[in-house]
Structure 1
Amino acid sequence: MSEIVYANEVLGGTRIKVRKVPVDQALTEAMNVVVALLALVFLAPVMIAVAIAVYAQDGGPILFAHRRLGRNGRYFYCLKFRSMAVDAEQRLKTLLENDPQARAEWEKDHKLRDDPRVTKLGNFLRKTSLDELPQLFNVLKGEMSLVGPRPIVEAEIAKYGRRFHHYCAVKPGITGLWQVSGRNDTTYRARVAMDCVYAARRNVFMDFRVLALTVPAVLARRGSY
């Protein structure tokens, strides 16, 4: 049974049990480190160019470190190239206070299709996923994995409900089932189901498969905004 079909069953109410898969954890961690190092070397020119462009647009910080929840519910700072204006939080606050429709959209998925905080350059970085390249350093630090659930903020715990422990069972990832299955074109409920499926069925072969599917998903910009 495919992971997506199984996720649909979870959405339909099927109870999911996290089983301990006999995975060589050392092999998984080694893969994370080797691939992350190779990616950093290969993508160094791109990352330098992005860093220069981010700084040139307004002279603000190049990186944005956001507090997220990791494995076992521990907090860490997830790195990204800054895609938002320097006064992003004030822009969001003003919008939510004055636009009921935007407030409802934010409360539903913690996403905004027309986000006033995002700069023109930031919009490009998000659509191409270039903003997430600094997370390779999070992988090297052991805070994230190449593949896993997307790291969430504390306010999103309620959306996982009784399934939150599935999220905490694994390291959050740069990519994962959600990213190769439509990203923002899917519901948050579907995202939670996919995270549960990954926690229950994760193995090295699944990770390789997701990594392979990530490339065409990024190039096609499916569900990115």
Structure 2
Amino acid sequence: MERDPAARAEWAARRKLKRDPRVTWIGRFLRASSLDELPQVFNVLRGEMSLVGPRPVQVAELVTHYGAAAEHYASVRPGITGLWQVSGRSDTSYATRVALDVGYATRPSLRTDLKILLRTPAAVLLRRGAY
């Protein structure tokens, strides 16, 4: 990223790189197909995560990107799938991700959770925003 201003800007906006040189072709396939999420089912069974909720983030991301909204994020369990996943994932900006997470946390609803669960298979199969 030191030599590539476009990659630096992409990282600053989304905290991801579309063509991350650290990821192998197998890793790209696992990530794009969301197969890398399967082990998180164990976290759900242990009560550390839920099926639906904001995706887990690092503490540094809470400070840097969430700011005052971090309290909303922290008020719910992270989930395997969530509003961000079915709303474009990495095709959205990080600011949009924060807004989606805050909206989800401030207006909890079983109906919303069911809608997200129903929209998740299509988002995964179509690989929308997955990289």
- TM-score over 0.5 for the alignment? yes
2:116 aligns to what? Answer: 210
For residues 146-180 of structure 1, the C-alpha deviation after alignment (integer angstroms, 9 at most, x for no partner) is: 00001001221121111111100000111001100
Aligned mate of 2:88, from 182, 187, 208: 182
TM-score scaled by structure 1? 0.55
What is the alpha-carbon distance in structure 1 between the residues aligned to residue 13 and residue 119 of structure 2? Answer: 27
2:79 aligns to what? Answer: 173
Aligned mate of 1:127, from 14, 23, 32: 32
2:18 aligns to what? Answer: 113
2:61 aligns to what? Answer: 156
2:49 aligns to what? Answer: 144
Instruction: Confirm or deny: 8 A CA contact 2:83 2:101 kept in the other structure.
Output: yes
User: 1:197 aligned to 2:109?
Assistant: no
- Secondary structure of the residue aligned to 2:20 is coil
How much has 1:143 moved relative to structure 2? 1.2
Give 2:50's aligned amino acid. S
What is the alpha-carbon distance in structure 2 between the residues aligned to residue 105 and residue 204 of structure 1? Answer: 34
1:104 aligns to what? Answer: 9
Q: What are structure 1's unaligned runs of at least 5 residues? A: 1-95
What is the alpha-carbon distance in structure 1 between the residues aligned to residue 122 and residue 5 of structure 2? Answer: 36
> Which protein is bigger by CA-based radius of gyration?
1
Per chain length, whose mean CA-contact separation is higher, i.e. which structure has more relative contact order (CA < 8 Å, sep 6+)?
Answer: 2
TM-score scaled by structure 2? 0.92
What is the alpha-carbon distance in structure 2 between the residues aligned to residue 99 and residue 206 of structure 1? Answer: 40
Q: What are structure 2's unaligned runs of at least 5 residues? A: none
Q: Percent identity?
A: 61
Which structure: greater strand fraction? 1
Runs of 4+, deviation exceeding 4 Å: none
- Number of aligned residue pairs: 130
Give 1:108's aligned amino acid. A
